[in-house]
Amino acid sequence: MHRAVTAMVGLLVLSGTATAQQVRICAQQDPIDAAAWHQLFANGPIGVPADTIFVFAGYSKGPPTALASNTVEGEKRTEAFITTAPASLTQAKPCATVAAMVGRSETWVWNGQPIRPDKLQYFQVFGLLTPDGVDTSFDASGASMQWAAQNQQLDARVLSTLTAPRDVP
């Protein structure tokens, strides 16, 4: 019996079904304004809370030719995800990997479809999911998070396919 359970666990890991749905969040350094990097952390580490919403923002080197059509680009703009764990970003460690779920909302027009990893595709912080809805002011977050969000200094990339949807009012 023990061997059968061990074999099943091994098969789950090999098949990828045990893989966490993860994203990588990073504080972005402004290539033109070096002082902005220090300002980003002037109030301490950036505490990215669980329930932070990121939306599709574009491609880091322009859209790949296979995805250059307006239809696909428009579909991408309906993609969003929500972190399910907090993260702390510092100057020494400006990136963190956390679990996430696909955002689904009729109000915000997020389709809730799976989001696959794409090295060129990035997402930008959009808001915080609260019991009252979506807060795009970041008033309830710390000063560092609020400054980073309002100055568009937080980006994220999908590391593994996100499939589990979460409804957003």
**Span 64-89, average pLDDT:** 71
Asked if 53 and 126 touch (Cβ cutoff 8 Å), the reply is: yes
Amino acid (one-letter) located at 36: A
Q: Give the per-residue pLDDT at 18.
A: 39
Give tens-digit pLDDT for 21-62: 999 999 998 778 888 888 889 889 999 999 999 999 988 765
**pLDDT score at 30:** 76
Per-residue model confidence as pLDDT tens digits over 105-159? 999 999 999 999 998 899 999 999 999 899 999 988 888 999 899 888 999 999 9
Tokens (6 digits) for 54: 């990121």
Residue 10 has pLDDT above 70, yes or no: no
- End-to-end Cα distance, the chain: 46
Query: Of 44, 27, 46, which is closest to residue 86 (Cα–Cα)?
Result: 46
Please give, one letter per residue, the 3-state secondary structure of the chain: CHHHHHHHHHHHHHHCCCCCCEEEEEECCCCCCHHHHHHHCCCCCEEECCCEEEEEEEEECECCHHHCCHHHHHHHCCCEEEECCCEEECCCCCEEEEEEEEEEECCCCEECCCECCCCCEEEEEEEEEECCEEECCCCCCCHHHHHHHHCCCEEEEECCCECCEEECC
Tell me what pLDDT residue 33 has: 81
